[in-house]
Chains A and B, each alone.
Chain A
Amino acid sequence: MTMHTSSTAGTLSSSRKFEFRRHPYLLAVGVFILLSIVNAILQPSFLRPAVAVSNLASFMPLILVAVGQTYVILASDIDLSVGFIISVVNVVVVTTIEALGGSGGAILAGFAAGIATGILAGLVNGLCVAVLRFQPIVTTFATGIIFAGVALWILPQAGGQVPAIVWRTYAGAVAGVPVVLWLLAAVLVFIAVFARTRFHTALVAVGGNMQAAYQTKLPVTRIRITSYVISGLFAALAALALVGETASGDPLLGGAFSLSSITAVVLGGTALAGGRGGALGSLFGAIILGLIANVIFFAQLPFEYQNLAQGLVILLALAGGVFVARR
Chain B
Amino acid sequence: MKRTSMFLTALATATVMATGAFAQTFTIGLSNGWVGSEWRTQMIDEAVAAAEAWALNGVTVNVIVQSANVDVQGQIAHVRNYINQGVDAIIINPNSPTAFDPIFAQAAAAGILTISTDAEVSSPDALYVGIDQKGWAMMSAAWLAEELGGTGRVVAINGIAGHPANQMRVEGYQEVFAGFPGIELVNEVNANWDQAQGQQAMQTILATFGDIDGVWVQDGMADGAWRAIEDAGRVGDIVATGEIRADFIGRWAEQGYTTGASVNPPGVMASALNVAVLKLLGTELKDGVFEGRYGNALYLPIPFIDQGVFDDVMAAVDGMPGHHSVSEVVGPDAARNMFFQ
Contact = CB atoms under 8 A, between A and B. Distances in A.
Given A43-B85, A55-B80, A246-B100, A157 B163 contact: yes
B73 A245 contact: yes
Contacts of B80: 54-55, 57-58
A306 B81 CA distance: 15
Nearest to B69: A307
A62 interface: yes
Contact of A58 (B66, B73, B96): B73
Interface in B64-112: 64-74, 76-78, 80-81, 83-85, 96-103, 106
Nearest to B76: A245
B217 to A, nearest CB: 20
B71 A257 contact: yes
9 contacts: A55-B80, A158-B99, A171-B106, A247-B99, A247-B102, A255-B71, A256-B71, A302-B65, A306-B68
Among B72, B74, B78, max chain A CB count under 10 A is at: B72
A162 to B, nearest CB: 10
Given A61-B73, A253-B96, 13 more contacts: A45-B84, A158-B99, A158-B164, A167-B101, A249-B98, A250-B99, A253-B71, A256-B74, A297-B66, A298-B81, A302-B65, A303-B67, A307-B68
A270 interface: no
Interface of A: 43, 45, 51, 54-55, 57-58, 61-62, 152, 156-161, 167, 171, 242, 245-257, 290, 293-294, 296-298, 300, 302-304, 306-307, 310
B109 to A, nearest CB: 10
Nearest to B103: A245
Nearest to B74: A293
A57 B64 CA distance: 23
B162 A242 contact: no
Given A45-B84, A62-B73, A296 B68 contact: yes
B44 interface: yes
A248 B122 contact: yes
A253 B64 contact: no
Contact of A246 (B99, B161, B164): B99
Contact of A248 (B32, B99, B162): B99
A248 B98 contact: yes
Given A152-B161, A157-B162, A246 B84 contact: no
Q: 9 shortest A-B CB distances, which residue pairs?
A: A246-B99, A248-B98, A256-B71, A303-B67, A167-B102, A58-B77, A303-B65, A306-B68, A157-B167
Contact of A156 (B74, B102, B162): B162
Contacts of A248: 96, 98-99, 101, 122
A87 B32 CA distance: 22
Contacts of B85: 43, 45, 298
B178 interface: no
Interface residues of B, number: 39
B98 A159 contact: yes
Contacts of A300: 64
Given A158-B96, A246-B102, A248-B98, A306 B66 contact: yes
Contact of B162 (A54, A152, A257): A152
Contacts of B77: 55, 58, 290, 293-294, 297
Contact of B96 (A152, A167, A250, A293): A250
A256 B35 CA distance: 15
Among A250, A251, A298, max chain B CB count under 10 A is at: A250
A250 B73 contact: no
Contacts of B160: 252
B126 to A, nearest CB: 14
A45 B80 CA distance: 12
B165 to A, nearest CB: 10
Nearest to B168: A157
A199 B318 CA distance: 69
A178 to B, nearest CB: 14
Interface string B112-133: 0000000000100000000000
Contacts of A57: 80
A160 B98 contact: yes
Interface in B151-183: 160-164, 167
A302 to B, nearest CB: 8
B112 to A, nearest CB: 14
A152 B83 CA distance: 32
B61 to A, nearest CB: 16
A246 B97 CA distance: 10
Contacts of B106: 171
A62 B35 CA distance: 22
Nearest to A246: B99
Contact of B84 (A43, A157, A242, A306): A43
Contacts of A254: 71
Interface in B36-63: 41, 44
A303 B31 CA distance: 10
A26 to B, nearest CB: 27
Contact of A158 (B32, B35, B76, B97): B97
